[in-house]
Structure 1
């Protein structure tokens, strides 16, 4: 069995307590599109989010930066078939309903009948079918359509998606990850990775891209009218480049609502100022894996190395106070896919590591160096 050691790094996000945002329901941790919907008292205000990195590229599926925060910003502009509720469970997005066949080989979807692209063109099942076929030809970094066998359009807002073999997680995975593209915009685009004009950012989401300043790393998003999931919470969203110190100062004067990333050493300052600080697992992991060939083809050798690595010491040295040890299995606590069976934790145990290596024929010289038999 391959051994994998995981370190899960929490991400800090600060916001002014008066804003009262429910931050936990977002994809990629932070402000998800569902968080930005349907709060009538704040309807006319603007939301200002700081980003210490600045430019994340044009907020269009193929040309935004290949990281989670850029995907998140783009999700305000482009809807997916399935969204999330406040608890992170699947909820209607562009698809109003979805039904899995008894054999698990197809899904019937009914789209929101009043969904529109930001240029006023209606969203149809043909757009969804086009997107899935287009992404088979031009793979999208945050979602693969390789599991799909085909798609049938059954009406203006109805379609059937076929998959190659029955599997679970398609709704929470592919249907929730793939941004649906407007066919009338993308159909003639031969290389979407070079398509970065303003038309590339025409989506059907609750916000439209009104302005983008690449040099300043600044975006202005404006609420769309009559979105099928409800009225957007804010009239405008500004995403501005600003370092943590300047952002904390601007938050103190009420000029900033959300700091997208707060370095751990700024945490006391933020809490002392009375700001709410949200933390959530980033799911960015560091892993140590083994091939099953050569010197690592013997399971006991891999186990010995796992016992010889002091993961707690590495954690405290490299990521003091901002990370935690993860389990050695692939799925982590909280995942619905995680087995209830206990897995070996491989706690630091150099004596056990030594015994395993000796039992497999490894030897140790006077300087403490190990080598394989005949190596």
Structure 2
């Protein structure tokens, strides 16, 4: 049956490819695991859709995957930031040459229109509306239609990124009747119930909320270097490079690219099918390859003649969280003992085939300026764990470890929760269970449906859990995770970790703009978190992808999607 099923898969791939347009020499073919629900730059809901939209539309700022740095895209430079008492002003200027598909210039009026679409009621903008809620108004320069100032409420370190991190929409194309002109950005704050009766807004919402704004190639035309050429449902999406795109004529902006003539996204839900398509040379790029399959590809000499393999350091890490509110875990020495039983190296070997990097905290080891190299990840050490448990007042008895807490005799036990179906977390839980058993500590392993796990964490109904978090190298605002003001029921500080010193450090990290001072504060924060051993960062993952060797200038990165397909060039 296995051979038959593989033959059928190969035939399906063959017929799918035959139905596509003839392949141009520099066309790049990429796999999408799921078909995008929409390509709307406002209401997209999946990573694949976002990858496509990034080639059609642009934001003021974006990540340059060649350097993993934030750079100006539609803006001609990073914003000028002016902090006042209760507001912060971010002043931008758009690139002089930036233009839309019809040749008209991108102006501040388009930015204002975009903010209205993102903030207004009745529109399908629920995903992005909270992201721009802090932007209270926009002021356009009367002398320069490409210069404007965003007025933000308060200040947080991620505001600079967020003021530039949304796709700018062409007002001429998205609102040809000017229905949104009667709405002002400053009126889109607070209670918006009265605006829901605005006739123009209701008329616009009726148009904007239709599928056309997420599927129609005539509407999906932004300032990016590509247009949507064809969308064959369930099969593929093809993007075509614009003729005479403005970004190709921009001086000194190597991060603005549109090199391949065509980019085709093949929709292949099954990982096995996607890997077969790669081996059959029907894909040029494949990411998210499983560790076992990646190891097999590394041994395939024939495959490696045509494809290169990459393992960039990702910005996603796995961690263990311990509930410090429970009396049995209130002593940090008890938590440190558990940290010595996690055996991070074995977890990496079993679940990641060693494609991961141990870490001492939530700062990625790849961000060398801010990572604390003076610390070492907790090693497996049952003798040290025993010593710490005794120091914390636990006594070893034939039935296990016991301690008198608040007048009650308490046994040290652990219930480990993780998202059911995730083998990485399951392996980590079993490895902890095995090492704890050597010391006589009973551990119950319990996989939970994701929503139930989230409910337990928010209500503080847990002992220990495994989870992962994604970050970036641009902002290090850890307040929601570690500040005690976020440790209440429903707050994101699930473990309850926090000391007066760590609270002060978190606030200072967000306030300072000096890199040297930020590095000093972040390294001290890592020391405090390491010692508290409540939020135990275990390892940062490595991505695993393959790309055809006929291309160069791939801009391999730990940031999703881990490469910049717009930069691909054919080797000469």
Return the offset for 1:230.
1.0
Superposed CA deviations along residues 258-277 of structure 1, whole A, max 9, x for unmatched, are 33444413333375333222
1:81 aligns with 2:60: yes
- 1:212 aligned counterpart, secondary structure: strand
Match of 1:47 among 24, 27, 38: 27
1:257 aligns with 2:284: yes
Could you state the TM-score of these two structures normalised by the residue count of structure 1?
Answer: 0.73
User: Could you tell me which residue of structure 1 aligns to residue 263 of structure 2?
Assistant: 237
User: Could you tell me which residue of structure 1 aligns to residue 111 of structure 2?
Assistant: 128
User: Could you tell me which residue of structure 1 aligns to residue 166 of structure 2?
Assistant: 178
* Residues 372/327 of structure 1: CA separation in 2 closer, same or farther (3 Å cut): farther
Q: How does 1:54-133 map to 2 (within 5 A)?
A: 54-67=34-47, 69-85=48-64, 86-101=66-81, 103=83, 105-118=88-101, 122-133=105-116
- 2:51 aligned counterpart, secondary structure: helix
Determine if contact 1:307/1:346 at 8 Å carries over to the other structure.
Answer: yes
Return the offset for 1:220.
0.7
Return the offset for 1:170.
4.7
Superposed CA deviations along residues 52-96 of structure 1, whole A, max 9, x for unmatched, are 6241333333444433x4422221111011245532333331111
C-alpha separation between the residues in 1 aligned to 2:399 and 2:265?
56
Match of 1:294 among 326, 351, 356: 326
| Unaligned segments of structure 1, at least 5 residues | 1-43
- 1:230 aligned counterpart, secondary structure: helix
Could you state the TM-score of these two structures normalised by the residue count of structure 2?
Answer: 0.50
Superposed CA deviations along residues 31-62 of structure 1, whole A, max 9, x for unmatched, are xxxxxxxxxxxxx7442323162413333334
Determine if contact 1:307/1:348 at 8 Å carries over to the other structure.
Answer: yes
User: Could you tell me which residue of structure 2 aligns to residue 144 of structure 1?
Assistant: 131
* Residues 248/142 of structure 1: CA separation in 2 closer, same or farther (3 Å cut): farther
- 1:107 aligned counterpart, secondary structure: strand
Return the offset for 1:178.
2.1
Match of 1:319 among 343, 349, 352: 352
Determine if contact 2:134/2:153 at 8 Å carries over to the other structure.
Answer: yes
C-alpha separation between the residues in 2 aligned to 1:88 and 1:330?
18
Determine if contact 2:42/2:118 at 8 Å carries over to the other structure.
Answer: no
Match of 2:382 among 318, 339, 350: 350
Superposed CA deviations along residues 157-195 of structure 1, whole A, max 9, x for unmatched, are 111123334554555x32563222334527523776975
Return the offset for 1:371.
7.1
Q: Which structure has the highest helix share of the two?
A: 2
User: Could you tell me which residue of structure 2 aligns to residue 189 of structure 1?
Assistant: 205
Larger Rg: 2
Deviates more, 1:325-334 or 1:132-141: 132-141
Return the offset for 1:221.
0.4
1:303 aligns with 2:336: yes
Determine if contact 1:66/1:141 at 8 Å carries over to the other structure.
Answer: no
Deviates more, 1:329-338 or 1:203-212: 329-338
Deviates more, 1:141-150 or 1:268-277: 141-150
User: Could you tell me which residue of structure 1 aligns to residue 196 of structure 2?
Assistant: none
Return the offset for 1:200.
6.0
Determine if contact 1:45/1:236 at 8 Å carries over to the other structure.
Answer: no
* Residues 348/267 of structure 1: CA separation in 2 closer, same or farther (3 Å cut): same
Residues matched between the structures, number: 325
| Unaligned segments of structure 2, at least 5 residues | 1-23, 181-203, 250-257, 411-572
C-alpha separation between the residues in 1 aligned to 2:223 and 2:404?
60
